Amino acid sequence: MVRQDRRAPFVAALQQARTAAYPPGEYVGQESFMRAGEIRQLVGRARIGPGVYVLDLCCGVAGPGRMISAELGCQYLGLDHSASALVIARDLAGDLPCRFEQAHVPPLPNQQFEVVLLLETMLAFPDKRSLIEEVARGLTPGGRFAFTIEDGRPLTASERARMPDADTVWLIELAELTALLREAGLTVTWQQQCSASHHAIATALLRSFRTDSAHIARQIGTKALTELISAHELWCDWLGSGRVRKFALVAEKPLGEVRASR
Ligand SMILES: C[S@@+](CC[C@H](N)C(=O)[O-])C[C@H]1O[C@@H](n2cnc3c(N)ncnc32)[C@H](O)[C@@H]1O
């Protein structure tokens, strides 16, 4: 996942290739390897429904956020540090009941949410403990943290040298992540591996970017295209070989002390 400071040219340049890479109906503007069906399954496990107050951390242009707002009628707040991504998110959201704020996470807003989403961006946080402690604080009692992770040992120096924008790629082993959740008072209630599916999407995106390379390079330049392709080659290799595994999880905050009846 390559960092894009000016999102509009990337979104426009990659639109055609992304649309072609996902199976019919599975591309909803996500900037990730998740299919729409996987996003629906995860938000279903997090019990997002009408009126549920949802905070979507690192929402980007908010393809998933717009989909769940339209389909589920939740109250939605998306945060991202990219102003240019939020311009696109607001524009595409139109009349949907979505709100967006520009923020660098952590910290989280000083409110409580029934669900916190973090889709395909756990890897961008070098300090996952601080992030998870903030998420736990920002959940209501009984609240759910729904997210994906890239599971694996930290990248070696030579792997970091090959990955564009390696300062946004911080793997963590699932057991270590689960321990951080437990220490923050969150219990994993659902977990599913999605490595094969994400490998298939990464492979399809790589093929699509190569097919569309002349068109993409005209809009974002040859250097950015080369980095996009290099990053996807590495993800295909790592997801295919098991060097990195992908999981979707839901972790819940306890409902709190039950008052003893008299
Ligand atoms: C791979 S995109 C995922 C977007 C979206 N969650 C999705 O699934 O389509 C990652 C996003 O995280 C944002 N981001 C990364 N680190 C962040 C941070 N510390 N605070 C806020 N946004 C961040 C980036 O600007 C980018 O929009």
DSSP string, the chain: ----SSHHHHHHHHHHHHHHHSPTT--SS-SSS--HHHHHHHHHHTT--TT-EEEEET-TT-HHHHHHHHHH--EEEEEES-HHHHHHHHHHHTTSSEEEEE-PSSSPPSS-EEEEEE-S-GGG-S-HHHHHHHHHHHEEEEEEEEEEEEESSPPPHHHHHHSTTGGG---B-HHHHHHHHHHTT-EEEEEEE-HHHHHHHHHHHHHHHHHTHHHHHHHH-HHHHHHHHHHHHHHHHHHHHTSSEEEEEEEE----PPPPP-
Cβ contact 17:39 at 8 Å = no
Candidates 69, 81, 105, 127: which one to mutate for ligand 1, based on the most atoms within 8 Å of Cβ? 81
252 vs 15: CA distance, rounded Å:
35
60 lines ligand 1 (CB under 6 A): yes
Phi and psi at residue 129, to the nearest 5°? -60, -50
Cα-to-centroid distance, 125 and ligand 1 (Å): 10
Cα-to-centroid distance, 170 and ligand 1 (Å): 14
How many other CB atoms are there within 10 angstroms of residue 173's CB atom?
14
Look at residue 6 in the predicted model and tell me its pLDDT: 83
112 vs 231: CA distance, rounded Å:
36
20 vs 209: CA distance, rounded Å:
10
Look up tokens 């998870």; give the residue.
132
47 vs 153: CA distance, rounded Å:
31
Structural domains in the chain, sorted by start: 7-20+29-252 (3.40.50.150)
Cα-to-centroid distance, 257 and ligand 1 (Å): 35
Phi and psi at residue 52, to the nearest 5°? -65, 135
1 lines ligand 1 (CB under 6 A): yes
58 lines ligand 1 (CB under 6 A): yes
Phi and psi at residue 146, to the nearest 5°? -115, 125
Look at residue 257 in the predicted model and tell me its pLDDT: 57
Along the 262 residues of the chain, how does pLDDT read in single tens digits?
445 458 899 999 999 999 999 999 999 999 999 999 999 999 999 999 999 999 999 999 999 999 999 999 999 999 999 999 999 999 999 999 999 999 999 999 999 999 999 999 999 999 999 999 999 999 999 999 999 999 999 999 999 999 999 999 999 999 999 999 999 999 999 999 999 999 999 999 999 999 999 999 999 999 999 999 999 999 999 999 999 999 999 999 999 855 544 4
For ligand 1, atom 27, which residue shows the shortest CA distance?
60
131 vs 120: CA distance, rounded Å:
14
Two tokens at 91? Answer: 């524009």
2 vs 86: CA distance, rounded Å:
17
31 lines ligand 1 (CB under 6 A): yes
How many other CB atoms are there within 10 angstroms of residue 18's CB atom?
21
Cα-to-centroid distance, 69 and ligand 1 (Å): 18
Cβ contact 3:227 at 8 Å = no
